[in-house]
Structure 1
Amino acid sequence: MLAVIRYSVPESQSQDFIKQAHVILDTLAGEPGFQRGRLARSVDEPNLWALVSEWEGAGFYRRALSAARMAMYPLMILMVNEPSAFEDVYVSGQEE
């Protein structure tokens, strides 16, 4: 499953945001079911960022969020309030 948490980050806070996002991804990476993660910035709206992670399943992701909540807390005010968990329906390039 894919998890996408978007953030709206003022330019003046972007360097601190990047550092904290690294801490979040490192924390998530230590959790069971984590497959990979990345931090991305919109090419069209530079204040819009996405913390993207892939998981073996939704249960792993939800438990990892609980474990990472202290690392995530400083950035919560910057989060875009929207659903973040997406279940794969089709993945190109993989055998079914």
Structure 2
Amino acid sequence: MLVVNRFRADADDAAFRADLEKALEVLSAQRGYEDGRLGRNVDDPGLWVMVTRWRDVGSYRRALSSYDVKLGAVQTLSRAIEEPSAYEPVEPGLDGDLNTAVPRDLGAR
């Protein structure tokens, strides 16, 4: 699962960048987190993006419920532009197998 959060901030807002980096660090410690990146738009430096990849939707939702994420990331994530943020990866070989139910695996990271 991909999560794409876009943010609007002042182009030279170093504190906002630090907040994004901290939020990504906190998210990266959660079970089911696979990868994450921050980016800034090349044409509009006030537009930022945080893209994270999760094992499944449940992993992401449980991460948002964790105490550490509530303390260290939710305040920053709440500044995201209000739009749908959860995406299902479309990869070669899936042949239209999108939105399929996957059983939970509580033991994996």
Q: Which has the larger radius of gyration?
A: 2
Q: State the partner residue of 1:52.
A: 51
Tell me: CA distance 1:90–1:76, structure 2 relative to 1, closer, same or farther (3 Å).
Answer: closer
Gaps of 5+ in 2: 94-109
**Bigger RCO (CA 8 Å, 6+ sep):** 1
* Identity of matched residues, %: 35
Structure 1 residues 54 and 42: alpha-carbon distance in aligned structure 2, compared to 1, 3 A threshold? same
1:17 lines up with 2:22 in the alignment: no
How big is the shift at 1:78? 3.2
**What is aligned with 1:81?**
82
CA drift at 1:77: 5.8
Look up the equivalent residue of 1:85 and give its one-letter code: A
- Any idea what SS the aligned residue of 1:44 has? coil
In the aligned structure 2, how far is the partner of 1:65 from the partner of 1:33?
A: 12
**AA partner of residue 55 (structure 2):** E
Correspondence for 1:7: 7
Distance 2:81 2:36 in 1: 18
Amino acid at match of 1:58: V
CA RMSD of aligned residues (A): 1.8
Where in structure 1 are there 5+ consecutive unaligned residues? none
Q: Distance in 2 between matches of 1:78 and 1:3?
A: 15
Q: Which has the higher helix share?
A: 1
